[in-house]
């Protein structure tokens, strides 16, 4: 069975002044699919995410095609997009993504009222239920606090809850676990996995962390200096990486997580691992 992609990116080119930061990138994300965009620092991941979200800075020149639910949005900024082409977002820095002066409950109430049409009381109940479902202890108390009164992992799960409450068919998460300790990382990855499974929402997961990607995604697009160098099933990319950069990425992840990169990693050919 073949479904139409939720997100279809074709020959995406982004330039800042004379400097190309993304150069001819093409990939699809299918409904309910989790795809990671993997690349080293400075490879153009965040610019790709911003183009998908309609949040490119005014000095960026963009060409190509970005279709969400079949509609062309490449030249349409986020604020002017139709409801069915809007994308929810989880940022790396959860503190600056949330309003520091407003309680978690008030911030979560808004999307429940706006996108689900709930009354204030029902929106509060939905917010508490959602935070509880994400494994946060005592959500009744938590919604009364401001973001600064939460830990990084708690805040990041509030951000995921906010993105979930927006009820979009696509979520983009840009390095959502980079600033977190390993235990909290695992909790946040689980929350993303459970949400996308339950809501059948697609996810574009932006990361330079192959280990995190392998816990969440089945398919990867790997970029280097704004150009796609490899793409396909993550298992295959881990067991048989073709490009030098992918081989280095796998070797680095394997040296940090020797036994658990994925089941596929146990089958990994070793020539390039030995040389890493
Ligand atoms: N305002 C800017 N003007 C010109 N070039 C920029 C600007 N901001 C970023 N760049 C360059 O664009 C390129 C891609 O940046 P981008 O932030 O998309 O990378 P990234 O892969 O997300 O990196 P990281 O993992 O470090 O966030 C980099 O070479 C960066 O130096």
Residue 266 has pLDDT above 80, yes or no: no
Task: Give the mutation target among 13, 46, 53 for probing the ligand 1 site: most ligand atoms within 8 A of CB.
Answer: 46
- pLDDT class of 225 with cuts at 50, 70, 90: very high
User: Would residue 107 count as lying in a domain?
Assistant: yes
User: Would residue 99 count as lying in a domain?
Assistant: yes
Q: What is the mean pLDDT of the chain?
A: 87
The per-residue pLDDT for 117 is 84
Residue 150 has pLDDT above 60, yes or no: yes
Q: 273 phi and psi, to 5 degrees?
A: -65, -40
Q: How far is the CA of 261 from the centre of ligand 1 (A)?
A: 28
In the block, residue with structure tokens 């009164």: 149
With 0-12 CB in 10 A as exposed, 13-18 as middle and 19+ as buried, what is 267? exposed
Q: Give every CB contact of residue 97 below 8 A, 6+ residues apart in sequence.
A: 90, 91, 159
Q: Whose CA is nearest to atom 4 of ligand 1?
A: 16
Looking from the CA of 53 toward its CB, the CA atoms found within 13 Å total 21
Classify each residue of 140-158 as buried b or exposed e, where b means 16 or more C-beta atoms within 10 Å of its C-beta: eebbeeebeebebbbbbbb
In the block, residue with structure tokens 């980079």: 178
Q: Is 167 left (phi over 0), alpha (psi -120 to 50) or beta?
A: left
Give me the number of domains the chain comprises.
1
User: Would residue 102 count as lying in a domain?
Assistant: yes
Given the CA of residue 39, which atom of ligand 1 is nearest to it? 21
Question: Is-contact 32 235, C-beta < 8 A?
Answer: no
Q: What percent of the chain has pLDDT over 70?
A: 92
Q: 42 phi and psi, to 5 degrees?
A: 85, 10
Q: How far is the CA of 223 from the centre of ligand 1 (A)?
A: 13
Q: How far is the CA of 10 from the centre of ligand 1 (A)?
A: 20
User: Would residue 136 count as lying in a domain?
Assistant: yes
- pLDDT class of 267 with cuts at 50, 70, 90: very low
Residue 263 has pLDDT above 80, yes or no: no
User: Would residue 189 count as lying in a domain?
Assistant: no
Q: What residues make up the domain containing 132?
A: 88-167
Give the H or E element holding residue 73.
none
- As for the ipTM of the complex, it is 0.94
User: Would residue 206 count as lying in a domain?
Assistant: no
Give the three-class secondary structure for 238: helix
pLDDT tens for 53-104 read: 999 999 999 999 999 999 999 999 999 999 889 899 998 888 888 988 899 9
The per-residue pLDDT for 268 is 39
Residue 269 has pLDDT above 80, yes or no: no
Task: Give the mutation target among 22, 42, 52, 176 for probing the ligand 1 site: most ligand atoms within 8 A of CB.
Answer: 42
Instruction: Give the pLDDT mean for 120-139.
Output: 87
Token digits of residue 152? 């990084």
User: Would residue 174 count as lying in a domain?
Assistant: no
Least reliable range by pLDDT among 58-67, 146-155, 175-184, 224-233: 175-184
Q: Report the alpha-carbon distance of residue 173 to residue 151 in Å, rounded.
A: 19
Question: Is-contact 36 205, C-beta < 8 A?
Answer: yes
Query: pTM for the whole thing?
Result: 0.88
pLDDT tens for 157-196 read: 899 889 888 888 999 999 888 877 888 888 888 888 988 8
């Amino acid at each position: 069975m073949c479904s139409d992609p939720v997100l279809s990116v074709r020959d995406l080119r982004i330039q800042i002044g004379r400097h190309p930061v993304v150069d001819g990138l093409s990939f699809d994300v299918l409904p309910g699919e989790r795809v990671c965009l993997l690349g080293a620092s400075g490879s153009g991941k965040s610019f790709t995410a911003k183009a998908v979200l309609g949040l490119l800075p005014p000095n960026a020149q963009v060409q190509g095609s970005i279709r969400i639910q079949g509609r062309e949005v490449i030249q349409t900024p986020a604020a002017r997009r139709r409801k069915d082409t809007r994308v929810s977002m989880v940022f790396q820095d959860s503190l600056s993504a949330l309003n520091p002066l407003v309680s978690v409950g008030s911030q979560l109430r808004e999307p429940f009222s706006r996108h689900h049409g709930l009354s204030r009381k029902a929106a509060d109940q939905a917010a508490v239920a959602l935070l509880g479902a994400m494994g946060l202890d005592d959500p009744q108390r938590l919604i009364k606090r401001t973001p600064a009164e939460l830990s990084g992992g708690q805040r990041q799960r509030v951000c995921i809850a906010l993105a979930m409450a927006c009820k979009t068919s696509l979520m983009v998460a840009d390095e959502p676990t980079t600033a977190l300790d390993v235990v909290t990382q695992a909790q946040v990855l689980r929350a993303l996995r459970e949400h996308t499974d339950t809501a059948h929402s697609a996810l574009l997961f932006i990361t330079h962390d192959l280990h995190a990607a392998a816990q969440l995604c089945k398919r990867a697009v790997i970029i280097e200096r704004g150009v796609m160098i490899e793409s396909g099933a993550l298992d295959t990319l881990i067991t048989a990486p073709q490009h030098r950069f992918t081989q280095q990425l796998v070797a680095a992840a394997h040296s940090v997580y020797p036994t658990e990169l994925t089941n596929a990693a146990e089958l990994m050919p070793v020539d390039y691992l030995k040389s890493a």
